[in-house]
Amino acid sequence: MNAVKAENLTITYEGKPALEGVDFTLDEGETLLLLGPNGAGKTTLLKTIACFHGEYTGKLEVFGREPCEARDLIGYVPQSHSLNERVPLTALEVVAMGGIYRKGFFHFKIPGATIEKASEVLGFVGLDHVADRLFSELSGGQKQRVLLARALMSDPRLLLLDEPLSALDPSARGEVAGVLNKIKRERGITMIITTHDINPLLEIGDKVMLINRRLIAFGKPGEVLQDSVIKSVYGPLARVIPVEDRLFCITGDVHIHRHGGGGR
Ligand SMILES: Nc1ncnc2c1ncn2[C@@H]1O[C@H](COP(=O)(O)OP(=O)(O)OP(=O)(O)O)[C@@H](O)[C@H]1O
């Protein structure tokens, strides 16, 4: 089954196109790595699939439905989480929140079944030992894994992850990439992951999409990650280097947070 299907998709903000004429299909269980320079339209595409942004023309389907009809099937992990870290929530409570908001209620006491599920999911991301620690005191990699666990609370069939590796050091990147790999292998969840550094994720990417306000390339990693394709977007210094049986992609690209604080 198609998890996501876009046909001639053009996404606009107040009539101005941010991303134009995009076609692609992602099958259930596949992982798509979404690559493109700053301002390419990566977050815009994720938000539109997640039904947070609705200004588009063309066709966009999530499991055969319009995005807003498929909302319950989608988990979204934004680039900068909107948690107020001055509120003293433990890691377990942050995860449990993923099971509460979904139901549209505000609970003063978290139901036992929700806590039980949150403990199980926290264990799945390898963080049982920090359940009672304050979220604000966790390392960057641990925080990102807690946010992944929170997104898993609603049993999504499609996970949309906006820059899950940004602002992490190389070892934390490896940890988070390991959890994403586990989600793919053990839960079979379809994922779309935006990234500026594709290398730690290449192992789990079934498909790669390169965009720059339009679709530049879409296909298997080996098809998209070619010198000529990468150079056409990132310039002459960009290149793809085969290392043993792997590819290593150098784009010289960095993440720049351009939209000011919060809200993404
Ligand atoms: N809320 C908004 N209103 C108007 N324009 C927006 C809005 N959000 C994004 N844009 C514009 O849409 C274009 C694509 O932005 P988007 O954030 O999707 O790019 P991105 O590839 O995710 O970039 P980055 O890698 O820097 O996060 C940019 O020109 C951006 O300024």
The whole-number pLDDT of residue 82 equals 67
Residue 232's domain is classified under what CATH number?
Answer: 3.40.50.300
User: Helices (H) and strands (E) in the chain — how many of each?
Assistant: 7, 11
Mark 13-33 as b/e (b = at least 16 C-beta within 10 Å). eeeebbbbebebebeeebbbb
**What is the average pLDDT value for the chain, to the nearest integer?**
89
**Torsions phi, psi for 203 (to 5 deg):** -60, -30
Q: Which residue has the higher pLDDT, 99 or 150?
A: 150
In a domain, residue 108? The reply is no
Distance of CA 222 to CAs 29, 177, 246, Å? 19, 20, 9
Do 201 and 33 touch, CB atoms closer than 8 A? yes
Question: In angstroms, what is the span from residue 42 Cα to ligand 1's centroid?
Answer: 8
The whole-number pLDDT of residue 238 equals 87
Structurally, the chain folds into a number of domains equal to: 1
Question: In angstroms, what is the span from residue 19 Cα to ligand 1's centroid?
Answer: 9
Supply angle C-alpha 72, 77, 83, rounded to 5: 110
Quick check: 59 pLDDT over 80? yes
In a domain, residue 145? The reply is no
Separation CA 110–CA 260 (nearest Å): 33
Question: In angstroms, what is the span from residue 43 Cα to ligand 1's centroid?
Answer: 7
In a domain, residue 73? The reply is yes
**Residues lining ligand 1, Cβ inside 6 A:** 13, 18, 36, 38-44, 255-256, 258
ipTM field: 0.97
- Candidate from 42, 56, 198, 256 with most ligand 1 atoms within 8 A of CB, to mutate: 42
- Candidate from 10, 11, 43 with most ligand 1 atoms within 8 A of CB, to mutate: 43
In a domain, residue 98? The reply is no
